[in-house]
C-alpha cells in the first residue's frame, strides 16, 4: 500500500513509526513531517491547507491511503476532498469533525441520545449566559464553543470566575470560537481518555490513557497540550470500558449515522469517571498527542490494516491486540512553554532507541544538518514497563540522556497511577 501521512508532531511520529513496520507498506510519504518521521517516510513539502495540491500529489504518486493526524485539516474538510477524489482516507468528514469542532454540537447529540454528560445550555450572548450561571451557582464550567487550541475552557470554582470567563468569550479572547458559549455542570471524578476506531457502522475499542495537562509537577500551573501520558488508565476497568462503549460510543456512532454524517476515524473520548460511572467531557476526532505515543508502544497488531478498515467500512473484520505492559511518555518542552520560548535552540544529543524505549520528535527541525528545537513541545521520551512505575523509571532514565540546555520536563508523569500501584 502507498500511504501519505499528514502532520508533523509527536503523534504523527508515533503513527509513522508504527505504520512503517507494516508488511503491507510499499511506499510511505509524510507532509510536512519532522526529522523523526523522516526516519520512516519520505517528507514532502506540501501545503496541507491546499486540498488540490494534496490530491495532485496523491494522483502523481498513486497514493492508496491517506492518514490524517491533526484535527485542523479534518475540520477544514481534507477528508471530504480526498474521498471526493476517490482516495481512501483515515479521518472524519468536516461535518463529522464537528464532534470536536463544536462543543454545542456534541452536547446536542448527547441530549438527543441520552449519553451521560454534564447538564448544559448553549448561549450566544453574555447577559443570558450570566443569568444562567447566577441561577446554577459554582463550581461550573464555561466553554467557548469552537476550537480554541485547548484554551477555551474555564473550570470556575466561583460565580465571579465564571462571569469573567463569559466576558472573555464574548469579548473575543478566543475569536470566532467564542461567539457561542456552552455552560456545563461541573463533573467530579477522575479523568481518563478512551480511544476507539469507527468506520461509520462498527466500533473497535482500542485502549485507554491518562495525560497531564498542567505544566508543573503536582498538576499545577497553566494548561498545556499535554506534558506526558501513560496507558492503560487504571481507572478504566473492563466494566468501565463496556459501559463507555454501550452508553457513550455506540449511541454517538448511531447518532452521527442518523444525522447523515457517519463518523469514520478515531473517537478520542475525554471522560470523567464520576460516582455514576463514565460521563463524556468532550470528543476529539483524532488521536491524542501525547496519548497516541503510548498507545502505539502497546499496540501489538499491525496499525495499517486497522486504520484502513475505518476507511473501507470493514472494521468488523479486524481486531487489535495489546501488550499487557504499561507505556509512559514524558514530554520535553522548550523553557517558557506554554508561554513564549526561544526557537532554534540546539539539541546536542539524543539517546538511541532500545527495547521498549523510543524518543519521538514533536517540534524539532534540522538546521544546517544539526537538530534544533522549533516548537513548544519538542520531544516525547517514551518507555514501556511491567507497571506504570517501571515505565516511568525507564522513561526518566532515558530523559536524563537528552542533551538539550533549553529543555525541561515534569518529574512526576504517572503519579496518580503509581500511587495506586504502591
- Residues in contact with ligand GLY by CB under 6 A are 211, 225-226, 284, 288-289, 291
Q: Which residues neighbour 243 within 8 Å (Cβ) at sequence distance 6 or greater? A: 277, 278
Interface segment toward ligand AMP; rule CB under 6 A; list 71-79, 184-192, 233-241, 290-298: 184-192
Distance CA 326, CA 298 (A): 7
Q: Which is nearer to ligand GLY, 154 or 284 (CB)?
A: 284
Does position 155 interact with ligand AMP (CB under 6 A)? The reply is yes
- Alpha-helical regions (H) of 229-356: 238-244, 250-258, 291-298, 303-312
Per-residue binder mask for ligand AMP (CB under 6 A), 197-236, x = binder: ----------------x-----------------------
Report the site for ligand AMP in 40-69 (rule: CB under 6 A).
none
Q: Which is nearer to ligand AMP, 65 or 120 (CB)?
A: 120
Residue 180: helix, strand or coil by DSSP?
A: coil
Q: Which is nearer to ligand AMP, 220 or 422 (CB)?
A: 220
Q: Which residues neighbour 10 within 8 Å (Cβ) at sequence distance 6 or greater? A: 36, 289, 290, 292, 293, 331, 360, 361, 362, 377, 379, 380
Q: Which residues neighbour 396 within 8 Å (Cβ) at sequence distance 6 or greater? A: 330, 381, 411
Does position 132 interact with ligand AMP (CB under 6 A)? The reply is no
Distance CA 249, CA 243 (A): 9
Distance CA 197, CA 67 (A): 13
Interface segment toward ligand AMP; rule CB under 6 A; list 23-31, 179-187, 246-254, 304-312: 179-187
Question: In whole angstroms, how close is the CB of 287 to ligand GLY at the nearest point?
Answer: 7
Partner touching 206 among ligand AMP, ligand GLY, none, CB below 5 to 8 Å by kind: none
* Grid cell listed for 21: 513496520
Residue 1: helix, strand or coil by DSSP?
A: coil
Distance CA 315, CA 202 (A): 6
Backbone torsions φ then ψ of 27, nearest 5 degrees: -145, 140
Question: In whole angstroms, how close is the CB of 321 to ligand GLY at the nearest point?
Answer: 24
Question: In whole angstroms, how close is the CB of 11 to ligand GLY at the nearest point?
Answer: 7
Q: Which is nearer to ligand GLY, 226 or 376 (CB)?
A: 226
Q: Which is nearer to ligand GLY, 116 or 288 (CB)?
A: 288
* Per-residue CA distances from 3 to 10, 28, 274, 390, 398 (Å): 18, 5, 41, 35, 31
Distance CA 96, CA 108 (A): 14
Does position 322 interact with ligand AMP (CB under 6 A)? The reply is no
Interface segment toward ligand AMP; rule CB under 6 A; list 186-194, 226-234, 248-256, 369-377: 186-194
Residue 333: helix, strand or coil by DSSP?
A: strand
Tell me which of 191, 217, 250, 353 binds ligand AMP, using CB under 6 A: 191
Interface segment toward ligand AMP; rule CB under 6 A; list 33-41, 180-188, 285-293, 382-390: 180-188
Does position 153 interact with ligand AMP (CB under 6 A)? The reply is yes
Tell me which of 10, 36, 118, 265 binds ligand AMP, using CB under 6 A: 118
Pairing of strands 42-43, 27-32: parallel
Q: Which residues bind ligand AMP (CB under 6 A)?
A: 118, 141, 150, 153, 155, 184, 186-187, 191, 213, 270, 281-282
Amino acid at each position: 500500500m502507498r500511504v501519505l501521512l499528514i502532520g508533523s508532531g509527536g503523534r504523527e511520529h508515533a503513527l509513522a513509526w508504527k505504520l512503517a513496520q507494516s508488511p503491507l507498506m510499499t511506499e510511505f510519504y509524510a507532509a510536512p513531517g519532522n526529522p523523526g518521521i523522516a526516519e520512516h517516510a519520505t517528507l514532502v513539502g506540501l501545503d496541507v491547507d491546499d486540498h488540490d495540491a494534496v490530491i495532485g500529489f496523491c494522483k502523481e504518486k498513486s497514493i492508496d491511503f491517506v492518514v490524517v493526524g491533526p484535527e485542523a485539516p479534518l475540520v477544514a474538510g481534507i477528508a471530504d476532498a480526498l474521498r471526493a477524489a476517490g482516495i481512501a482516507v483515515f479521518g472524519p468528514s468536516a461535518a463529522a469533525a464537528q464532534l470536536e469542532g463544536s462543543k454545542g454540537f456534541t452536547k446536542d447529540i448527547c441530549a438527543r441520545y441520552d449519553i451521560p454528560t454534564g447538564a448544559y445550555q448553549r448561549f450566544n450572548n453574555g447577559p443570558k449566559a450570566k443569568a444562567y450561571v447566577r441561577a446554577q451557582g459554582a463550581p461550573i464550567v464555561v466553554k467557548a464553543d469552537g476550537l480554541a487550541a485547548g484554551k477555551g475552557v474555564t473550570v470556575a470554582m466561583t460565580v465571579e470566575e465564571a462571569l469573567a470567563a463569559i466576558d472573555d468569550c464574548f469579548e473575543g479572547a478566543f475569536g470566532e470560537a467564542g461567539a457561542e458559549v456552552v455552560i456545563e455542570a461541573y463533573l467530579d471524578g477522575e479523568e481518563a481518555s478512551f480511544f476507539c476506531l469507527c468506520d461509520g457502522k462498527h466500533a473497535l475499542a482500542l485502549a485507554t490513557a491518562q495525560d497531564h495537562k498542567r505544566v508543573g509537577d503536582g498538576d499545577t500551573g497553566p494548561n498545556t497540550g499535554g506534558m506526558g501520558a501513560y496507558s492503560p488508565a487504571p481507572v478504566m476497568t473492563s466494566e468501565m470500558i463496556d459501559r463507555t462503549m454501550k452508553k457513550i460510543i455506540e449511541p454517538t456512532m448511531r447518532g452521527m449515522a442518523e444525522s447523515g454524517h457517519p463518523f469514520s476515524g478515531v473517537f478520542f473520548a475525554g471522560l470523567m469517571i464520576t460516582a455514576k460511572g463514565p460521563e463524556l467531557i468532550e470528543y476529539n476526532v483524532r488521536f491524542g498527542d501525547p496519548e497516541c505515543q503510548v498507545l502505539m508502544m502497546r499496540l501489538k497488531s499491525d496499525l495499517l490494516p486497522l486504520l484502513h478498515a475505518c476507511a473501507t467500512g470493514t472494521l468488523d473484520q479486524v481486531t487489535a491486540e495489546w501488550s499487557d505492559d504499561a507505556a509512559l511518555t514524558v514530554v520535553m518542552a522548550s523553557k517558557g512553554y506554554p508561554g513564549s520560548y526561544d526557537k532554534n535552540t540546539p539539541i546536542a544529543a539524543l539517546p538511541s532507541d532500545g527495547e521498549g524505549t523510543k524518543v519521538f520528535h514533536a517540534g524539532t527541525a534540522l538546521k544546517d544538518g544539526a537538530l534544533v528545537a522549533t516548537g513548544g513541545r519538542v520531544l516525547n521520551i517514551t518507555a514501556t514497563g511491567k507497571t506504570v512505575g517501571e515505565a516511568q523509571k525507564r522513561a526518566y532514565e532515558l530523559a536524563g540522556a537528552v542533551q538539550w540546555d533549553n529543555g525541561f520536563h515534569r518529574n512526576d508523569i504517572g503519579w496518580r497511577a503509581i500511587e495506586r500501584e504502591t
